[in-house]
């Protein structure tokens, strides 16, 4: 047996690094979904009546909907009555000092310093643990600039006028099966409001973690950049290892008013399941931004390395004239992972521009699908789109699929689409070997080179983390 094969075996047996669980007393609502559960969630959060009504409206609509199965992914039916829709650490946190030290240790293991003094220079973190947002750092400093950065629950209490004005305006409660479910049962998430002309002085960050067994995580995030404002936001996610599949159905809504810019970056590392495809997170997420005002800009960057199944299409509605939408994506599937991801760029305003750069990497028996839509509506004069979809295959048992939809209703549109599929070459690996670089490092180097256009869109610290994650996800993938 060659040493290469040995390395692969060793690495294949290496376990998911973030698969620890935390022993904290949890308050979990028994599994099952009905109006009483929704009322209970709403009551737990002391929500105003309008919020409960909105949830119930969504729930009643959800009952009329069917689980979609058009994605290029296979999984057994999900039993929505077997999921618990609310789990919270028992002692409700009031301030950083009151947070259960066990939870703090969890975040330390994840490398997220919650304590303000330990926070990476300039990153404010809101951490969501199962259903509840446990801590928001740097809140005071942001407050000085007039920026609101808090949990969604808090926003409903403290800033109901903003929540009511914008919630559901980008992703309506009736949008799709999973978004509608989220609208009914969402438990927490982040809320950001950057006022007129303010440039947010630091990266805002949320860290999501699913800890409790048999729970779903349904967070809802709403970010509003008022006229001329700028904000860069990053989310990261992990989950412990479990044999059963766990559902994560989040909704993220972004609103950019005139001349505002929102940059939203995701590093998703949910538990992907084991080698045989047991366990892992179903990551069914609806993310959409609306360039409401003139010359506004929304940019999505995602690095998707985890989850058993990923189903997400961060999109931009380009309503304001001269607005810009961007989507940069790296999606990795190894072992039995399945990813069906891409974007929608809906051009409504004149002179709107969109850029799509998608890099799919498939290894093991992973299946990777890019699904994208570029729609140029009739009034969108001189709209431009550039799309580039590249796939890389590692080994001969994986798959890459591309479904680009283009719908142009205005003859002045300019569309460019480039696509490529490549196989990581033995020639490339041998070339690296011959220079003294071992196979594993060679693969990581070649893949990182392949993803470079996307990584350079990430904030510096996270680009480094993303590269490491990619290396971990692909360990042992070359035979």
Where do contacts with another protein occur on this chain (CB under 8 A)?
2-4, 425-428, 430-439, 441, 445-446, 448-453
Rounded CA separation 191/199 (Å): 17
Nearer to another protein, 4 or 274 (CB): 4
Name the minimum Å distance from CB 459 to another protein.
Answer: 19
As measured in angstroms, the least distance from the Cβ of 330 to another protein is 12
User: Minimum Å distance from CB 441 to another protein?
Assistant: 7
DSSP strand pairing (261-268 vs 399-408): unpaired
Q: Is the CB of 152 or the CB of 443 nearer to another protein? A: 443
Q: Which one-letter DSSP state was computed for residue 292?
A: -
Smaller CB separation from another protein, 69 or 452: 452
On the 0-12 / 13-18 / 19+ scale of CB atoms within 10 A, 244 is exposed
Minimum Å gap between C-beta 417 and another protein is 19
Given the complex with another protein, which of 333 and 448 has the nearer CB atom? 448
Nearer to another protein, 22 or 358 (CB): 358
Q: How far apart are CA 427 and CA 103, in angstroms?
A: 47
Nearer to another protein, 223 or 332 (CB): 332
Closer CB to another protein, 100 or 475, in the complex: 475
- Find the angle CA(414)-CA(417)-CA(423) to the nearest 5 degrees: 170
Least Å from the CB of residue 229 to another protein: 33
Q: Structure tokens of 134?
A: 């446990």
Residue for token pair 């703090």: 104
CB of 37 to another protein, least distance (A): 49
Residue 299: in which H helix or E strand, if any? strand 297-304
Residue 460: CB minimum distance to another protein, A: 16
Q: Where are the beta strands (DSSP E) in 83-173?
A: 87-89, 123-129, 132-136, 148-151
Task: Choose between 355 and 433: whose C-beta lies nearer to another protein.
Answer: 433
Q: How far is the CB of 455 from another protein (least distance, A)?
A: 9
What is the torsional sign of CA 457, 462, 468, 471?
negative
| Helix, coil or strand: residue 426 | helix
Judge contact between 288 and 252, C-beta under 8 A. Answer: yes
Q: Which is nearer to another protein, 174 or 428 (CB)?
A: 428
The distance of closest approach from Cβ of residue 3 to another protein in the complex, given in angstroms and rounded to an integer, is 6
Nearest approach in angstroms of CB 431 to another protein is 5
Asked whether the beta carbons of 284 and 248 are under 8 A apart, the reply is yes
Q: Which is nearer to another protein, 134 or 363 (by Cβ)? A: 363
Partners of residue 286 on adjacent β-strands = 251
Structure tokens at 104: 């703090």
In the complex, least distance from residue 363 CB atom to another protein, rounded to whole angstroms: 18
Closest approach of another protein to the CB of residue 396, in Å: 16
Is residue 325 a contact partner of residue 356, using CB atoms and an 8 Å limit? no
CB-nearer residue toward another protein: 405 or 430: 430
The answer to whether 322 and 285 have CB atoms below 8 angstroms apart is no
**304, β-bridge pairs:** 268, 331
Q: Of 94 and 435, which has the nearer Cβ to another protein?
A: 435
Sequence-distant (6+) residues with CB within 8 A of 434 are none
Give DSSP secondary structure letters for 305-340: ---SEEEE--EEEE-STT-EEEEEEEEEE-TT-EEE
How far apart are the C-alpha atoms of 98 and 135, rounded to whole Å?
A: 10
Task: Find, among 455, 479, 475, 435, the residue nearest to 12 by Cα.
Answer: 475
* Token pair in block for residue 139: 């809140």
| Burial category of 420 from C-beta neighbours within 10 Å (exposed 0-12, middle 13-18, buried 19 and up) | exposed
- Token pair of 32, please? 């099952």
């Amino acid at each position: 047996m060659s040493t290469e094969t040995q390395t692969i075996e060793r690495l294949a047996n290496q376990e998911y690094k973030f698969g620890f669980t935390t022993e904290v007393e949890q308050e979990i609502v028994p599994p099952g979904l009905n109006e009483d559960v929704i009322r209970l969630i709403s009551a737990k959060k002391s929500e105003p009546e309008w919020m409960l009504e909105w949830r119930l409206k969504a729930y009643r609509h959800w009952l009329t909907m069917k689980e979609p199965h058009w994605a290029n992914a296979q999984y057994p039916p999900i039993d929505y009555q077997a999921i618990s829709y609310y789990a919270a650490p028992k002692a409700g946190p009031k301030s950083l000092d009151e947070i259960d030290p066990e939870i703090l240790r969890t975040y330390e293991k994840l490398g997220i310093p919650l304590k303000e003094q330990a926070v990476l220079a300039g990153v404010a973190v809101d951490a969501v643990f199962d259903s509840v947002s446990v801590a928001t750092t740097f809140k005071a400093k942001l407050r000085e600039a007039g920026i609101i950065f808090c949990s969604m629950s808090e926003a409903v209490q403290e800033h109901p006028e903003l929540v009511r004005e914008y919630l559901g305006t980008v992703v309506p409660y009736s949008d799709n099966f999973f978004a509608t479910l989220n609208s009914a049962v969402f438990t927490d998430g982040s809320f950001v409001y950057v006022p007129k002309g303010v440039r947010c002085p630091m990266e805002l960050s949320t860290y999501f973690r699913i800890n409790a067994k048999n729970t779903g995580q349904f967070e809802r995030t709403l970010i509003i950049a008022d006229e001329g404002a700028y904000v860069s936001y990053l989310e990261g996610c992990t989950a412990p290892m479990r044999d059963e599949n766990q559902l994560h159905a989040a909704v993220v809504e972004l609103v950019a008013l005139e001349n505002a810019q929102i940059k939203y970056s995701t590093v998703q590392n949910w538990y992907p399941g084991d080698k045989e495809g047991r366990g892992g997170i179903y990551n069914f997420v609806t993310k959409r931004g609306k360039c409401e005002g003139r010359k506004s800009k929304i940019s999505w960057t995602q690095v998707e390395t985890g989850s058993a199944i990923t189903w997400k299409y961060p999109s931009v509605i380009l309503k304001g004239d001269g607005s810009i939408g961007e989507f940069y994506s790296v999606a990795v599937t190894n072992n039995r992972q399945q990813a069906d991801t891409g974007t929608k760029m809906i051009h409504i305003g004149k002179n709107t521009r969109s850029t799509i750069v998608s890099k799919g990497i498939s290894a093991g028996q992973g299946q990777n699908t890019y699904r994208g839509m570029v729609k140029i509506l009739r009034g969108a004069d001189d709209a431009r789109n550039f799309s580039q979809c590249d796939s890389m295959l590692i080994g001969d048992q994986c798959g890459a699929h591309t479904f680009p939809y283009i719908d142009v209703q205005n003859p002045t549109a300019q569309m460019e689409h480039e696509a490529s599929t490549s196989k990581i070459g033995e020639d490339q690996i041998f070339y690296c070997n011959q220079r003294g670089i071992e196979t594993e490092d060679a693969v990581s180097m070649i893949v990182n080179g392949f993803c470079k256009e996307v990584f350079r869109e990430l904030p510096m610290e996270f680009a480094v983390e993303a590269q490491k994650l990619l290396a971990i996800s692909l360990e042992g993938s070359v035979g």
